[in-house]
Amino acid sequence: MVAAAAGWAYARFLDRQVRGRSEEEPPLSQGYLRGLNLLLDDETDKALEMFVRMIATDDEALDTHFALGSLFRRRGELDRAIRIHQNILARPDLSTAQRHSALFALGEDYLRAGLMDRAESLFRQVAEQAEDPEPALGRLVGILENLGEWEQAITVRREMEKVSGERQDVPVAHYCCELAERALTNGEPRAARGWLKKAQRARRALPRGAIIRARLAEQEGDGALAWRLLSEVVRSSPALLPEILPDLHRLAARREDLAALDALLRPLLSTADAPGVAYAAITCDLLDPPVLEEALVALLTGDDTLASLVDAPALAEASGEARRQLLERMAGGLRRLVQRGPRYRCGACGHHGQRMSWQCPDCRSWDTIRATATLPLETVLVAPPRR
Ligand SMILES: [Zn+2]
């Protein structure tokens, strides 16, 4: 509480410094000093009552009350923050801008408290009325994403475009993909196709859209189209190979044409994406067609440390079934190793996780998470934490 009071007093001090009117303004009123003392004595509720009374009667700068409210919010004392902001709103002499600030601040309190409906309606109100609606639109779209209200989120993104002039095509295309996936799950392929078309209109080259469309095509018996779509994803976004290799393998196996998969992946072996092919083979538990086995062997023998760990000479000497069993055992060990470390990483904020997700749970960016394609060798050298 001492830190809280000091922070509040400092915010107030800064506020005066910035405005440079410290000499014209009266010193802290008696009421504030008493409130501050109560805060320092850990009598938070009494201090709150005093401040709330002052909001109604005191002509002091409202900024101080706002600072106090956001201080309570930052400390997680949301009931107190809400009371402060509600009492600011009850003042009859608020300017329009002050009213919008108070509504926004109250929205932030509700958001932190998990009262999404209330927060949503306040941010909507501010977005419609405020001179600068951008911050409120940003909060609103975050809430709608959380609630899975994708169609409403599309509308808000388009509003954001008008206000900021920045295109919002990537999130809009992903909202359409979310709706397409939902339609597929509900057994509505026509609706799914409609949403995929809208996704494509928002963002022409969207690997996620192609992956969903391929799944739909496969469901409808059009394996050739599914294959074409997924092949294009491999060429445009090889980092997504671990997500789609099982589908490609299934489609090729059904046509008894694993050679097509070999031909698709082989060009990657001579590029920087070669370790990604080996990684996909390891995580998807696939060593057929030969290109996958070759990528794995190149990975195992290309690095001295890894080669000594997996007994590369034994691998070089073995042939036929014995070699195959040896490779499967090595790939299995590496797969268990991969599962012990963080498998996915966000390119925007560095968030690590175990699951593939199209939206980063930390920074909320879309399409920034990909497989790490690394072997977390340190996890075998460090003892697991004791429970
Ligand atoms: Zn992120």
Q: Which tens digits make up the pLDDT trace of 135-157?
A: 999 999 999 999 999 999 999 99
Say which residue, 145 or 382, is predicted with more confidence.
145
pLDDT at residue 385, as a whole number: 61
Rounded to the nearest angstrom, the distance between the alpha carbon of 221 and the centre of ligand 1 is 37
Buried b (16+ CB within 10 A) or exposed e, 90-118: ebeeeeeebbbbbbbbbbbbbbebeeeee
Place of tokens 């790490």: 372
Q: Average model confidence (pLDDT) for the chain? A: 89
Rounded to the nearest angstrom, the distance between the alpha carbon of 107 and the centre of ligand 1 is 24
Where are the chain's structural domains? 2-19+28-147, 268-381
Paired tokens of 168: 């919002």
pLDDT at residue 348, as a whole number: 96
Our CA angle for 270, 271, 277, nearest 5°, is 90
Model confidence band, residue 276 (pLDDT cutoffs 50, 70, 90): very high
Rounded to the nearest angstrom, the distance between the alpha carbon of 97 and the centre of ligand 1 is 33
Q: Is 366 helix (H, G, I), strand (E, B) or coil?
A: strand
Mode of pairing for the β-strands spanning 352-353 and 369-371: unpaired
Model confidence band, residue 309 (pLDDT cutoffs 50, 70, 90): confident
Topology of the domain comprising 2-19+28-147: 1.25.40
Rounded to the nearest angstrom, the distance between the alpha carbon of 150 and the centre of ligand 1 is 20
* From 48-52, 156-160, 166-170, 187-191, the region with the lowest mean pLDDT: 48-52
What is the maximum alpha-carbon separation in the chain? 91
What proportion of the chain, given as a percentage, has pLDDT over 90?
68
Rounded to the nearest angstrom, the distance between the alpha carbon of 365 and the centre of ligand 1 is 6
Compute the average pLDDT of residues 47-71.
Answer: 78
Rounded to the nearest angstrom, the distance between the alpha carbon of 344 and the centre of ligand 1 is 11
* C-beta of residue 276 within 8 angstroms of C-beta of residue 305: no
Rounded to the nearest angstrom, the distance between the alpha carbon of 355 and the centre of ligand 1 is 13
* Dihedral pair phi/psi, residue 366, rounded to 5°: -100, 140
Rounded to the nearest angstrom, the distance between the alpha carbon of 148 and the centre of ligand 1 is 19
Rounded to the nearest angstrom, the distance between the alpha carbon of 347 and the centre of ligand 1 is 7
Compute the average pLDDT of residues 45-56.
Answer: 78
Burial of 260 (0-12, 13-18, 19+ CB in 10 A): middle
Rounded to the nearest angstrom, the distance between the alpha carbon of 349 and the centre of ligand 1 is 4
Place of tokens 């968030």: 351
Separation of alpha carbons 112 and 108, rounded Å: 6
Model confidence band, residue 239 (pLDDT cutoffs 50, 70, 90): very high
